[in-house]
């Protein structure tokens, strides 16, 4: 694996669509590592123009290019894919994606236990709390010095995926990585903290409306809310599913499973699921989604009310209620 890092001359670095702090921070840090080796990497994600503040303020984020078929015309020699369990999660046209991944050898670096091992090299550490933690280990082992910007990008990934070192995946090694990133000049507060918590005024109002609409099952074990287009319109926000709400619902006393439904269109609903212990990824997978055992998501081509009914009934069955 260390070899693959050192051998790359013209690497292409990809990470999943709907960038989060770990996918983007890891891609940017890997780009920084190549720069430290004197190698210029091209970083690409699906629709980078949609990356919103503060994620687009991560050091180097302005250099990320769109994932397009044209990338296949460039003279790369290897493709690094980070934080992406399967090629489909890269987004974009399947044909374009498969073509890109078939031109050059693929190095797949990840921490999801659902990773499909689609690379020529697969470096998947499922015990790691974030891909940023995997990369930190790799770069340390490869003795590639961490710049302050690389450290900030990796720290954003750690903070993002562990919700500020709160979730159970946080291990002594995660905290050692965080300490070493601090020593390298990375920020733990500031940008990484904003990555976790930043919310515009419109999004804050939408968050409030969604919390006010929270519902619970009779036994209180399942809590959910719906973020509808009408709610978003009333506060001049867009229905946005990136962060905050699913974790906030988990704070409800007695809640074992939290679900947030987002009305993306008249017949298109996204659901984000969180669990305190009972694995819920299988439910997401039944609807073509995925994620982690305790944090997963899915999108169904159904009106929000239908989707909510379907998924909540399924979660009730899961809990045997």
Residue whose beta carbon is closest to Mn ion: 22
Fill in the DSSP letter of residue 26: H
What's the rounded Cα separation, in Å, for the pair 185 and 208?
A: 36
Q: Residue 227: in which H helix or E strand, if any?
A: strand 222-227
The residue (of 158 and 237) whose beta carbon lies closer to Mn ion is 158
22 binds Mn ion, rule: CB under 5 A: yes
In the complex, the smallest distance separating the C-beta of residue 158 from Mn ion, rounded to whole angstroms, is 10
Q: Among 18, 14, 170, which residue's Cα sits nearest to residue 98?
A: 14
Q: Residue 131 or residue 147: which is nearer to Mn ion going by CB? A: 131
Choice between 22 and 256, CB closer to Mn ion = 22
Binding mask 136-175 for Mn ion (x = CB under 5 A): -------------------------x--------------
Q: Distance between CA 285 and CA 297 in Å, rounded?
A: 8
Residues 6+ away with beta carbon under 8 Å from 111 = 83, 124, 125, 126, 127, 128, 129, 130, 131, 133, 134, 161
Residue 104 or 136: which CB sits closer to Mn ion? 136
Enumerate residues 6+ apart whose C-beta is below 8 A from 123: 1, 107, 108, 109, 110, 134, 138
> Closest distance between Mn ion and the C-beta of residue 37, in Å?
24
Residue closer to Mn ion by CB (options 223, 280) is 280
Tell which residue, 29, 13, 22, 15, has the closest CA to residue 91. Answer: 15
In the stretch 94-133, what mask flags binding to Mn ion with x, by CB under 5 A?
A: ------------------------------------xx--
DSSP secondary-structure letter at 51? P
Nearest distance in Å: CB 263, Mn ion = 26
Residues in contact with Mn ion by the rule CB under 5 A: 22, 83, 130-131, 161
């Amino acid at each position: 694996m260390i070899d693959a890092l050192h051998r790359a001359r013209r690497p292409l670095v990809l990470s999943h669509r709907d960038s989060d702090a770990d996918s983007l921070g890891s891609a940017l840090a890997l780009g920084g590592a190549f720069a430290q080796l004197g190698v210029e990497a091209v970083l690409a994600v699906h629709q980078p123009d949609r990356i919103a503040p503060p994620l687009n303020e991560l050091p180097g984020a302005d250099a990320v290019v769109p994932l397009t078929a044209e990338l296949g015309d460039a003279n790369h020699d290897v493709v690094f894919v980070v934080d992406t369990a399967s090629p489909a999660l890269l987004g974009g046209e399947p044909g374009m994606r498969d073509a890109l991944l078939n031109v050059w050898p693929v190095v797949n670096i990840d921490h999801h236990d659902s990773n499909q091992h689609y690379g020529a090299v697969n470096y998947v550490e499922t015990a790691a709390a974030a891909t940023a933690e995997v990369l930190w280990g790799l770069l340390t082992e490869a003795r590639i010095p961490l710049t302050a910007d690389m450290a900030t990008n990796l720290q954003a990934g750690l903070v993002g995926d562990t919700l500020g070192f709160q979730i159970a995946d946080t291990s002594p090694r995660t905290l050692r990585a965080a300490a070493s990133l601090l020593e390298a000049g990375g920020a733990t507060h500031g940008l990484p903290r904003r990555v976790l918590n930043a919310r515009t005024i419109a999004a804050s109002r939408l968050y409030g409306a969604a919390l006010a609409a929270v519902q619970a099952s009779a036994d209180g074990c399942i809590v959910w809310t719906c973020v509808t287009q009408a709610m978003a319109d009333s506060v001049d926000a867009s229905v946005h599913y990136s962060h905050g709400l699913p974790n906030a619902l988990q704070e409800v006393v007695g809640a074992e499973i939290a679900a947030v439904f987002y009305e993306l269109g008249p017949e298109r609903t996204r659901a984000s699921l969180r669990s305190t212990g009972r694995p819920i990824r299988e439910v997401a997978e039944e609807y073509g989604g995925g994620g982690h055992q305790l944090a997963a998501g899915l999108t169904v081509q159904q009106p929000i009310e239908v989707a909510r009914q379907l998924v909540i009934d399924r979660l009730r069955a899961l809990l045997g209620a």
